Amino acid sequence: MPQGADLFIQKLAKEAGALVLKRFGKDGVHYMKSDNAWDCVTEADLKADKFIVGRIKKAYPTHGIISEEGGVHNENAEYVWIADPIDGTMNFSRGVPMFGVMIALVHKKRVMLSAIHIPATKELFFAKRGKGSYLNGKRINCSRIQTLENSVGSGSSTMNKRNAKFVGNILRAGRRKRIQLGSFFSTAVNACYVTCGRRDWMVTLHGRIWDFAPAYLILKESGCKVTDTNGSPWKFGTLEMVAANPTLHKKLLKLTKNI
C-alpha cells in the first residue's frame, strides 16, 4: 500500500466534496453527454475532476487514474485511482442535495481503499480492505434484517429492459412480502446508506467502473456479500452489483438471477 494513501484518499474526497458543495445551487447543466436526462455535466463536475486528478498526479505521479470527466491516465500502472467527481449530477444540477464524491484505489484489479463523501450531510464513508467500513471515523455495519419481507432496498432508477424485469420480480414477490424499493438517483448515496444500515440491500444493474469500484469496498467491509446478479463474487470491471448481508443476499438472488 502506498505510504499515507488511506489518509490521502479521505482528505481528497472531503476537499473535493467541499469544492462541489460551494457550487451547489449555482451550477446548472453545462452540457449533455447523451440524450439521457441523467447523463449531464456541470461546471462543478469539471472543476472537481480537475482538482482530484491534479492532487493524485502530484502525490503519486507513477500511479494510473481513471476518472469520469478526466479520462484515463496510465491505466496499466500497478496502482490505479478511480474517481467520480459528482455521482448524482442530475440531482446536483436540479438542486437536490443527494450526490457524492467517489474515489477508490485499486491494486492489480483489487480494490484496496474507498472513500465516498456526501457533501450535503458532511458524511465521509471510508473502507480499507480487511479493516472495515467507517462513517466519519466510526465503524459501521450493514443491516442485519434476515427476510425480504418489509426490507427496504435501493437500486437502479433507469427503466431499461433488465431493470424492468427485476422490478417485475419485485412486484410479484411484493404481493406476499411487502418489499420496499426506491432510489436516491445516486449510486454513492444508495451504497452508503446500505453500508450503514439505513437501507437493507442494493441492486444496481448499469453504470461505469467509477460507480462500482468505490461502492464495492465500503459495502463488502460493512458485512455485505457483494456479487453480480447470478451470485458470482463481484470483480473489478463487473458493471452490476447485488449487495446485502449474506442471509438476505441469498434470498435477493432469487429475484436477480437470469435477469
DSSP string, 156-178: --S--HHHHHHHHHHHHHHHHH-
Compute the average pLDDT of residues 242-251: 97
Least confident of 29-33, 118-122, 176-180: 29-33
Domain 5-140 class in CATH: alpha beta
Residue 29: band (very low, low, confident or very high) from pLDDT cuts 50, 70, 90: low
Compute the average pLDDT of residues 80-84: 97
Domain residue limits, the chain:
5-140, 152-256
**pLDDT, tens digit (0-9, with 9 covering 90-100), for 198-237:** 999 999 998 999 999 999 999 999 999 999 999 999 999 9
Q: Are strands 180-182 and 225-227 parallel, antiparallel or unpaired?
A: unpaired
> Is residue 250 over pLDDT 60?
yes
Compute the average pLDDT of residues 113-128: 98
Compute the average pLDDT of residues 7-28: 94
Q: Is 87 annotated as a binding residue?
A: yes
Asked if the domains 5-140 and 152-256 are classified in one and the same CATH topology, the answer is no
Give the whole-angstrom CA distance, residue 217 versus residue 143. Answer: 16
Q: Is 84 annotated as a binding residue?
A: yes
Please give the grid coordinates belonging to residue 41: 455535466
DSSP string, 203-241: EE----HHHHHHHHHHHHHTT-EEE-TTSPBP-TT---E
- Tell which CATH classification among 3.40.190.80, 3.40.630.10, 3.20.20.70, 3.40.50.880 matches the domain 152-256: 3.40.190.80
Residue 26: band (very low, low, confident or very high) from pLDDT cuts 50, 70, 90: confident
pLDDT of residue 39: 65
> Is residue 165 over pLDDT 70?
yes
Contacts of 77 (CB under 8 A, 6+ apart): 62, 63, 64
Q: Is 86 annotated as a binding residue?
A: yes
Q: Is 45 annotated as a binding residue?
A: no
Q: Is 211 annotated as a binding residue?
A: yes
